């Protein structure tokens, strides 16, 4: 097993995020995506988790399966919601026993499950502390370039993030669309004497219908991007939007890498085509076929 903190110390990382399937159909889609993305040689992959016993089992099964049946380095997400402190400790112990060394500690959205356990840990920093107490983990946390929706203001959001990251090893951002948002976040952390790696999260816009949903998730697509996507739709329909979305994401990735970002983290939505296209456009795929990307 390889710790993500060690990978980041060695050089840039390129990583993918998946969610555990809820049906046989989703399982087939994910299996095909994993088959297509594994040859790209990602530094690590992460698996999301919404909270609750069923989601916990799906996440752990997928992460453990990746660890034992593939060359992928997996990271399990874990959330405070829907679990007592004891349950979270038991989950962390079970992950370690399964050989999992990488976790992303999250607060999580409020649970709608009436049978869920009371939330004893209010914030992700408490989950980081618990994982540290159990030991053996490389721990990541979430960062929001525009500030967490629950934060009173951006300055206090940055203060809490710096405190959380001081106990963790690295952060991964929510997706965003302009490089200045990421570099502003990194600069704000540096002003607080925090210099640990912050991986930018990348999600290409491949459909006009996804634009309102992204805004509801806290990352609004800027108007200049909307205009380019709408123009692409008029010229080339749905395929034109996909091509434009890949171009926009590639431009963002290039700016981030040129500016010194420690890597890229792709939100795949369990599909491979856009990520593979961006890799090719960045010139990463040919390098990864014969060597590690961070050694190129």
Active-site residues, by number, are 17
Q: Which residues pair with 143 in a beta bridge?
A: 173
Tokens linked to 167: 């106990």
Environment class of 216 (CB within 10 Å of its CB; exposed 0-12, middle 13-18, buried 19+): exposed
Spatial distance between the Cα atoms of 8 and 167, rounded to a whole number of angstroms: 16
Spatial distance between the Cα atoms of 31 and 38, rounded to a whole number of angstroms: 11
* Closest by CA position to 108, among listed 91, 96, 94: 91
Tokens linked to 161: 């993030």
Spatial distance between the Cα atoms of 166 and 161, rounded to a whole number of angstroms: 8
Spatial distance between the Cα atoms of 276 and 282, rounded to a whole number of angstroms: 10
Cα-Cα-Cα-Cα dihedral of 39, 63, 274, 294, to 10°? -50
Cα-Cα-Cα-Cα dihedral of 36, 254, 190, 76, to 10°? -10
Residue 208 contacts residue 245 (beta carbons within 8 Å):
no
- Give the count of beta carbons closer than 10 Å to the beta carbon of residue 74: 23
Spatial distance between the Cα atoms of 193 and 15, rounded to a whole number of angstroms: 26
Spatial distance between the Cα atoms of 166 and 187, rounded to a whole number of angstroms: 16
Long-range contacts of 283-291 (CB under 8 A, 24+ apart): 284/14, 284/40, 285/40, 288/14, 288/39, 288/40, 288/41, 289/39, 289/41
Which residue has 């390889």 as its token pair? 2
């Amino acid at each position: 097993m390889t710790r993500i903190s060690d990978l980041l110390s060695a050089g840039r990382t390129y990583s993918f995020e998946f969610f555990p399937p809820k049906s046989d159909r989703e399982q087939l889609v994910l299996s095909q995506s994993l088959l297509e993305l594994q040859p790209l040689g990602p530094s690590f992959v992460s698996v999301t988790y919404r909270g609750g016993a069923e989601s916990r089992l799906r996440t752990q099964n997928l992460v453990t399966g990746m660890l034992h049946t593939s060359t992928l380095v997996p990271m399990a997400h874990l959330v405070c919601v829907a679990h007592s402190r004891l349950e979270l400790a038991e989950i962390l112990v079970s992950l370690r026993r399964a050989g999992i060394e990488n976790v992303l500690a999250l607060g999580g959205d409020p649970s709608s499950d009436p049978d869920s356990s009371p939330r004893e840990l209010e914030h992700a920093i408490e989950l980081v502390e618990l994982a540290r107490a159990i030991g053996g983990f490389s721990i990541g946390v979430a960062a929001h370039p525009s500030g967490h929706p629950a934060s009173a203001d951006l300055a206090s959001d940055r203060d809490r993030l710096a405190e959380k990251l001081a106990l963790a090893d690295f952060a991964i951002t929510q997706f965003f669309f302009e490089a200045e948002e990421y570099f502003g976040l990194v600069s704000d952390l540096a002003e607080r004497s925090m210099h640990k790696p912050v991986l930018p999260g990348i999600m290409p816009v491949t459909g006009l219908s996804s634009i309102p949903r992204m805004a509801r998730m806290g990352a609004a697509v800027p108007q200049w991007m909307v205009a380019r996507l709408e123009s692409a739709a008029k010229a080339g329909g749905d395929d034109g939007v996909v091509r434009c979305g890949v171009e926009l994401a590639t431009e963002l990735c290039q700016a981030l890498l040129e500016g010194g970002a420690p890597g890229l983290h792709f939100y795949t939505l369990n599909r491979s085509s856009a990520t593979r296209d961006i890799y090719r456009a960045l010139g990463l795929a040919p390098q990864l076929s014969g060597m590690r990307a961070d050694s190129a």
